[in-house]
Structure 1
Amino acid sequence: MILKTFRWAFVVTAIGLAGGFLLGFREGGGIAGAFESLVLVAILTILEISLSFDNAVVNATILERMSAFWQRMFLTVGILIAVFGMRLIFPLIIVSITAPLNPVTVIELAVAGGTGPGSYAQHLHEAHPAIAAFGGMFLFMIFLGFVLEEQEHSWLAWLEKPLARIGKLDQLNVVIALIVLLIASATLSTTAAHQTAAVVLIAGVLGVVTYLLVNGLGELFETSADEAHEEEHGEAVAKSGNGNLVKAVGKAAFFLFLYLEVLDASFSFDGVIGAFAITSDIFIIAIGLGVGAMYIRSLTVYLVRKGTLNEYVYLEHGAMWAIGALAVILLITIRYEVPEVVTGLIGVAFIAAAFISSLVRNRRLGGDDSSDDAGEPSGDQEAVKV
């Protein structure tokens, strides 16, 4: 299964390394320059995987609700959007809007490279407060949507259960998010023109609105699919015939796909910014981060097909807490520098802790099939979603 699921990641890796080698050679570096570019691609790939590992777990919780066709779309069309859209074109658009510069000038600056004053890297760095506010608030809404909703299992029960109880208050997630955004804009914004509180506020509100719009449309069409299934089969959608999740198709699957792409964009921001500390060549950055994104996508599909999330029930919890930590870190970076290694290690730490907790739980249940999480239903039968 590993070879089958990761075959495209291996193919993209070979193409990416070859492309990096040729870029270094053609830019006048000779063999030495070619090998240097190849190494840079490898480093950027590792950077992307380390920063987005928790993204794979979150993606898997969404992808398992999609049909095989949309899973293939995620690996094919989705990866093109991730590489060329989110890691190459989207930063160009951000720089063009915030600089402000016309698109042609931005492209010329990007191709020219460099990290000095007036360079593409510098303009992207100046646009970081708006990027961080948008991505941070979008991820924070995802985190709140999880912890303020009652879950079948509780990992950090002492914290998750009280949060789920207060989460019954309608629209509490929006209230909390906007309060956090107001605090961030007031305390983390500087006096520089590109870092005003207004810029942070507008970008943050757009992040919240994007989440509400995409998530709301997805839920709308999921409900429609649920009702259609009930009319067709004359029963509530609880289980499919084989006990697996009922897969979303059509418009519901499309909005889940769109949700995944926005989620990927939010995760990619810190990687794109951090990549300029390694190289200023946008083509090497796009190749390296793109190869890493392919591995994250393949890992997502592997987790779904292997049923890992059903077997290790706390992994989703760990990923969501990692998202919450990343959201806070992104907001902090509006004003302060946070090393990429810190961002990556926090995510890995949450995932590792959740995995170990899942192992302990499985061993306990293996010794006593009649027990489960305190006060919770058995995890053998997972809730079925559309």
Structure 2
Amino acid sequence: MLLRTFGWSLGITAVGLAFAAWVWGWEGFAVVAILSVLEISLSFDNAVVNASILKKMNAFWQKIFLTVGVLIAVFGMRLVFPVVIVAITAKLGPIEAVDLAINNKDHYQELVTAAHPAIAAFGGMFLLMIFLDFIFEEREHAWLAWLERPLAKLGKLDMLSVTIALIALIITATTFATDVAHDGGDKASTVLLSGIAGLVTYLIVGGLSGHFENKLEEEEEAEAEAEKAGRPSAVGLAGKAAFFLFLYLEVLDASFSFDGVIGAFAITNDIFWMALGLGIGAMYVRSLTVYLVRKGTLDDYVYLEHGAHYAIGALAVILLVTIKYEINEVVTGLVGVFLIAASFWSSVVRNRREEAEDEGGSGSDEKTEISV
């Protein structure tokens, strides 16, 4: 099971590190290895959230996630995305931006850093919406019941998540986005536009995936009752539902990748080292996602999903705060690890308690039978 799930990741690691050592020497080897560890440590919560979505897909779409999805993650987010951001913010052509990334790495890093407020606002709002929609939804299991149950009741109010997210964006734009531009001005308008773009992206992609997922469920219920002539095929709807869930996963991964890409500049400004190191880390995140799905870990440890979503909420806040203040990537990673570890331990305690109750219940039943 482990070898089948993580085989590709281990193979890519061996090839990637060997390539780095051959082309760039031991320095390149060390930097690529460090970046791989950085990406894995920052993205464990990403894997848990991905697993909660991926388990709704069939085996075919899980393979698509591991193949096409990896290509998008590695080449799209880790290599192309920083270049595109520089091209847009610096008003350069794509070829000029690539030339800058290769031949003038220090200036390239400065331009990426200057684009951080826009990146953080977009990713922060997208992740904040994921957290708010989770926390305002009524669920069978509540990890922090004293907080989650009252919020689930409040969640019955229409558009509450969007309202809170917009308030958070306005506060961010009028506080953290002031006096962050290199020219002495502020980036309030940039943060507002980018944040709204992140919100709209979430509403479109999340709305479409949810719509087709609901239609699929309705279709399956209808099939269980009777066959109806002229009804669309459930397979077709499954394809649409899975496609938009896949698209949702990729946007989610992109939002999670922002801190990793920006944090990587603290280690190197060579885009090829970054792409290779972060790409290797992304492979493990995807393999871990599939492993969690196939092992049914989320079903066995019911609070893991809660911990991951709290980590998403924390990352959203951190991204918005980093528009003005620098926060070490180690802190970002440790927050996510702590929340997931706490939710995992709570799940273990719950499982042990339920097992003890079941054993106690069966023991009393046996005593009753003997006495009779």
Q: Same fold (TM over 0.5)?
A: yes
Q: Judging by fraction of residues, say which structure has more helix.
A: 2
Instruction: Return the letter of the residue paired with 1:216.
Output: G
Of 78, 97, 105 in structure 1, the residue corresponding to residue 69 of structure 2 is 78
Aligned partner of residue 358 in structure 2, secondary structure: coil
Structure 1: runs of 5 or more not aligned = 25-33, 236-245, 372-386
For residue 232 of structure 1, report the CA deviation from its aligned partner. 2.0
* Equivalence for 1:166: 154
**Is 1:358 aligned with 2:355?**
no
Matched, 1:50 2:38: no
Percent identity over the alignment is 64
Structure 1 position 22, deviation (Å): 2.7
Determine the C-alpha separation between the residues in 1 that align with 2:225 and 2:102: 59
Greater mean deviation of Cα atoms: 87-96 or 62-71: 87-96
Asked whether 1:227 is paired with 2:215, we answer: no
Letter in structure 1 aligned against 2:56: R
Which residue of structure 2 aligns with residue 114 of structure 1?
105
**Residue 368 (structure 2) aligns with:** none
Distance 2:3 2:161 in 1: 41
1:344 lines up with 2:347 in the alignment:
no
Task: Measure, in 2, the Cα distance between the counterparts of 1:225 and 1:251.
Answer: 9
Q: Aligned to 1:266, which of 255, 280, 288?
A: 255
Match of 1:94 in 2: 85
Partner-residue secondary structure (3-state), 2:57: coil
Equivalent residue for 2:30, pick from 29, 36, 39: 39
**Which secondary structure state, in structure 2, belongs to the residue aligned with residue 141 of structure 1?**
helix
Which one of the candidate residues 171, 183, 199 is aligned to 1:183? 171
Q: Equivalents in 2 of 1:370, 1:173: separation in Å? A: 42
Q: Report what 2:300 is aligned to.
A: 311
Displacement, 1:92?
A: 1.1
Separation of aligned partners in 2, 1:69 and 1:195: 47
SS in structure 2 of the partner of residue 334 of structure 1: coil
Q: Which residue of 2 aligns with 1:239?
A: none
Q: Distance in 2 between matches of 1:217 and 1:208?
A: 14
* CA shift digits 1:235-270 (9 cap, x unpaired): 8xxxxxxxxxx9x83010000000000000001111
CA contact (8 A) 1:134 1:207 kept: yes
Structure 2 CA distance for aligned equivalents of residues 370 and 65 of structure 1: 33
The 1-side partners of 2:150 and 2:218 are apart by 32
Unaligned runs of 5+ in 2: 227-234, 361-372
Tell me, yes or no, if structure 1 residue 154 matches structure 2 residue 142. Answer: yes
Structure 1 residue 230: deviation in Å? 2.2
Instruction: Indicate the SS of the match to 2:43.
Output: helix
CA distance in 2, matches of 1:370, 1:183: 53
The corresponding residue for 1:323 is: 312
Match in the other structure for 2:322: 333
The aligned counterpart of 2:52 is 61
- Note the C-alpha offset of 1:227: 2.4
Aligned equivalents of 1:188 and 1:350: distance in 2? 25
Q: Distance in 2 between matches of 1:141 and 1:23?
A: 42
Q: Distance in 1 between matches of 2:104 and 2:266?
A: 12
Match for residue 212 of structure 1 among 203, 208, 215: 203
| C-alpha deviation, 1:50, in angstroms | 0.6
Deviation at residue 61 of structure 1 after TM alignment: 0.1
1:196 aligned to 2:184?
Answer: no
Q: Deviations over 1:334-379 (max 9, x none)?
A: 01100000000000000000000000000000001399xxxxxxxx
Q: Which has the larger radius of gyration?
A: 2
What is the rounded CA distance, in whole Å, between the counterparts of 1:195 and 1:132 in structure 2? 15
1:104 has 2:95 as partner? yes
Task: Quote how far apart the aligned CAs of 1:100 are.
Answer: 1.8
Aligned equivalents of 2:247 and 2:188: distance in 1?
Answer: 29
Identify which of 250, 269, 273 aligns with 2:239.
Answer: 250
Letter in 2 for 1:8: W
Contact 1:221–1:251 under 8 Å retained in 2: yes
Report deviation, 1:228: 2.1
Displacement after TM superposition at 1:103 (Å): 1.3
Give the C-alpha shift of residue 113 in structure 1: 4.7
Q: TM-score, length-normalised on structure 1? A: 0.88
Whole-Å separation in 1 of the counterparts to 2:4 and 2:346? 29
Match of 2:121 in 1: 133
| Distance verdict in 2 for CA 1:105–1:352, change over 3 Å | same
SS at match of 1:279: coil
- Counterpart Cα distance in 2 of 1:195 and 1:121: 20
State the Cα distance separating 1:146 from its structure 2 match.
0.2
Contact preservation (8 Å) 1:37, 1:284: yes
Q: Which one-letter code corresponds to 1:10 in the other structure?
A: L
Aligned to 2:229: none
Matched position secondary structure for 2:21: helix
Q: Which amino acid aligns with 1:343?
A: T
Partner of 2:16: 16
Alignment partner for residue 143 of structure 1, among 131, 155, 163?
131
